[in-house]
């Protein structure tokens, strides 16, 4: 039920952000997460609060799943001083280190070497924390991917590499860029590589639980390829004309939230509940999430913008509050 709630929070947040973007209230650009919710939620549900994630230019889902507050995220998108990055980051650098989400990294594959370093820190600190590193299928052809995964593998660092394979790097289909399966590449580094149905939150969760257990116990990294699909465009204004309509429709039928809903109803029936009862419970969650998002929008709208001179702060580490 908590996974359902978080997936709905992501979906409804993104839908609201899209409307607010069209209204001109959300500025800049946005890369939306609709359709991939099971990946963020499945992975983050297998993490502890003190574990960390690295995210990408498409970070809203990861942040919500890791526990960044919707208020502070919405305020960030509105460019308000109360934003999770004090309006310095925006959509593509969303994060809140206090819940284990460092600022999202909008350079493709940029998080891979940093995640290795975070894992190295945990190892040197004799901590059992782990880091989950999110990246897309487009990232696996960056040099940083190779260098970061290789270092994590040879040093047995506690990293879970999570590839969200949505089959398109912006508009370019994977078959034009990537000659072997992504999970197969794990063999080149001597680490486990697994393919999971990225629209099945339980499958993502189970794969992550195994990878996290391995990482925590000193076994080193795992590469999880979550096959999924973004039902929205790559970024604002992308109509997705490069994708066959039938393909989009097919994936919409595999919608991760609808699937989880069916699963929960079946599970409820198995436990002796009437389907209508479970549906009512889920609808109640939907309504609560609606209210939570309304509250976040109201918070953002009521929040003050930063002072222009605030742009000069936080360039150097001594300006970070202890």
Q: Which is nearer to another protein, 27 or 248 (CB)?
A: 27
Q: Give CA–CA dist 149/171, Å, rounded.
A: 25
Among 83, 158, 192, 193, contact with another protein (rule: CB under 8 A): 83
Q: Choose the binding region for another protein from 120-128, 164-172, 175-183, 190-198 (rule: CB under 8 A).
A: 120-128
Q: Which is nearer to another protein, 48 or 262 (CB)?
A: 48
User: In 3-state terms, what secondary structure has residue 225?
Assistant: strand
- The distance of closest approach from Cβ of residue 142 to another protein in the complex, given in angstroms and rounded to an integer, is 9
Q: Choose the binding region for another protein from 10-18, 122-130, 185-193, 267-275 (rule: CB under 8 A).
A: 122-130
- Does 10 sit near another protein (CB under 8 A)? no
Among 73, 75, 105, 264, contact with another protein (rule: CB under 8 A): 105
- CA-based nearest residue to 109, from 136, 91, 78: 136
Among 12, 25, 155, 259, contact with another protein (rule: CB under 8 A): 155
- Does 150 sit near another protein (CB under 8 A)? yes
- Does 61 sit near another protein (CB under 8 A)? no
Q: Which is nearer to another protein, 17 or 115 (CB)?
A: 115
CA of 24: how far to CAs of 17, 27, 29, 234, in Å? 10, 6, 11, 19
- Does 318 sit near another protein (CB under 8 A)? yes
84-92 contacts: CB < 8 A, separation 24 or more? 86/306, 86/310, 86/314, 87/305, 87/306, 87/310, 88/314, 90/27, 90/28, 91/26, 91/28, 91/29, 91/30, 91/31, 91/59, 91/60, 92/28, 92/29, 92/31, 92/57, 92/59
- The distance of closest approach from Cβ of residue 65 to another protein in the complex, given in angstroms and rounded to an integer, is 19
Q: Which residues contact 89 (CB under 8 A, 6 or more apart)?
A: 76, 83, 95, 103, 104
- Does 321 sit near another protein (CB under 8 A)? yes
Other beta carbons within 10 angstroms of residue 16's beta carbon come to 18
Q: Which is nearer to another protein, 262 or 314 (CB)?
A: 314
- The distance of closest approach from Cβ of residue 9 to another protein in the complex, given in angstroms and rounded to an integer, is 23
- Does 187 sit near another protein (CB under 8 A)? no
Site residues for another protein, 265-304, by CB under 8 A, read: none
- The distance of closest approach from Cβ of residue 92 to another protein in the complex, given in angstroms and rounded to an integer, is 9
Among 22, 154, 269, 284, contact with another protein (rule: CB under 8 A): 154
Q: Give CA–CA dist 114/99, Å, rounded.
A: 17
- The distance of closest approach from Cβ of residue 77 to another protein in the complex, given in angstroms and rounded to an integer, is 14
Among 36, 56, 91, 113, contact with another protein (rule: CB under 8 A): 113
- CA-based nearest residue to 131, from 164, 100, 94, 107: 100
Rg of the chain taking only CA atoms, in angstroms: 19
- Does 87 sit near another protein (CB under 8 A)? yes
Burial of residue 67 (CB within 10 Å: 0-12, 13-18, 19+) is middle
Q: Could you tell me the sign of the dihedral formed by the alpha carbons of 258, 264, 267, 271, in that order? A: negative
Chain residues that interact with another protein, rule: CB under 8 A = 52, 83-89, 93, 95-98, 102-103, 105, 107, 110, 112-122, 124-125, 131, 143-144, 147-148, 150-151, 154-155, 313-321
């Amino acid at each position: 039920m908590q996974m359902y709630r978080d997936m709905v929070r992501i979906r409804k947040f993104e839908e609201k952000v899209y409307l607010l973007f069209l209204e001109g209230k959300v500025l800049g650009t946005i890369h939306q997460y609709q359709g991939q919710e099971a990946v963020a939620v499945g992975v983050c549900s297998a993490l502890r609060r003190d574990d960390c994630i690295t995210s990408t230019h498409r970070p809203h889902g990861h942040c919500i799943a890791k526990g960044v507050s919707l208020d502070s995220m919405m305020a960030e998108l509105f460019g308000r001083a109360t934003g999770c990055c004090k309006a310095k980051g925006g959509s593509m650098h969303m994060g809140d280190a206090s819940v284990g989400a460092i600022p999202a990294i909008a350079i493709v594959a940029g998080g891979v070497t940093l995640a290795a370093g975070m894992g190295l820190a945990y190892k040197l600190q004799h901590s059992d924390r782990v880091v989950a590193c999110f990246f897309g299928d487009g990232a696996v052809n960056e040099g940083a991917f190779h260098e970061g995964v290789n270092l994590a593998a040879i040093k047995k660092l506690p990293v879970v590499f999570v590839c969200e394979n949505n089959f398109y790097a912006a508009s370019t289909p994977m078959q034009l860029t990537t000659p072997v399966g992504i999970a197969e590449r794990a063999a080149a580094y001597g680490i486990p590589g697994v393919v999971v149905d990225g629209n099945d939150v339980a499958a993502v969760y189970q794969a992550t639980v195994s990878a996290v257990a391995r990482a925590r116990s000193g076994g080193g990294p795992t590469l999880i390829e979550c096959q999924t699909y973004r039902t929205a465009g790559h970024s604002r204004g992308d109509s997705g004309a490069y994708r066959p309509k039938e393909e989009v429709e097919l994936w919409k039928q595999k919608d991760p939230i609808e699937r989880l809903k069916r699963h929960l109803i079946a599970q409820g029936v198995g436990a002796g509940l009437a389907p209508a009862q479970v549906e009512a419970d889920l609808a109640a969650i939907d309504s609560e999430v609606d209210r939570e998002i309304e509250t976040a929008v109201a918070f953002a709208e009521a929040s003050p913008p930063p002072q222009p001179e605030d742009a000069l702060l936080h360039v150097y580490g001594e300006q970070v509050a202890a």
